[in-house]
Amino acid sequence: MGDTIEIKVDGLKELEQDLLELPDRIAGRVLQSALTSAALPIVTEARTKVPLAHGAYRLYGGGKADPGWLRDRIVRKKVKGGGNSAEVIVTIKDRRQSYFWKFIEFGTSKMAAHPFMRPAFEAKVAEAVDRFSDRLKAGIASAVTKLKFTP
């Protein structure tokens, strides 16, 4: 049971060719921007689907969390990679408590699962792909215009 979901988009050959014709640094920014935009509907949906606690509870290592604590920490995050790669993940913002969502998503031996990440992905994957495609087209067009304008 993994906690990573990957999307492979086929049918974007023309955009891929246009992207490859841009300088690497600019192409990376355009691709990263498109991925970040595409992740937003999944983040928004996950925030609506995460179950809220009935009351405040203690956090591992100290501290207190109010209902909605986990919901407020669902974010999209750029993953730093090497070369011309671009990657965005939907994750939990708190490093010390980031494992906690898995207990809710997948359950434990003493607690039933209450999935929210996977259902959010499944509900919004088509919208995410459309946003990716639209943002990528717009980003490439903007970059080409700027490159042609630059002396």
Q: Taking 80 as the threshold, does the pLDDT of residue 7 lie above it?
A: no
Between 32 and 100, the more confident residue is 32
- Residue that wins the pLDDT comparison between 55 and 83: 55
pLDDT of 44 higher than 90: yes
> Are 76 and 39 within 8 A, CB to CB?
yes
Query: Do residues 117 and 100 lie in contact, with contact meaning Cβ atoms separated by under 8 Å?
Result: no
CB burial of residue 124 (10 Å; 0-12, 13-18, 19+) = buried
Share of the chain above pLDDT 70, in %: 84
> Exposed e or buried b for every residue in 69-87, given b needs 16+ CB within 10 A?
bbbebbebeeeeeeeeebe
Tell whether the torsion through CA atoms of 92, 98, 104 and 106 is positive or negative: positive
| Residue-wise pLDDT tens digits, 89-102 | 888 887 766 677 88
3-state secondary structure of 70: coil
CA distances from 119 to 1, 24, 32, 47 (A): 16, 35, 24, 11
pTM for this one? 0.79
Q: Quick one: tokens of 112?
A: 């039933």
Which residue, among 45, 72, 57, has the nearest Cα to 126 in the 3D structure? 45
pLDDT digits (tens, 9 = 90+) for 101-144: 888 899 999 989 999 999 999 999 999 999 998 999 899 888 88
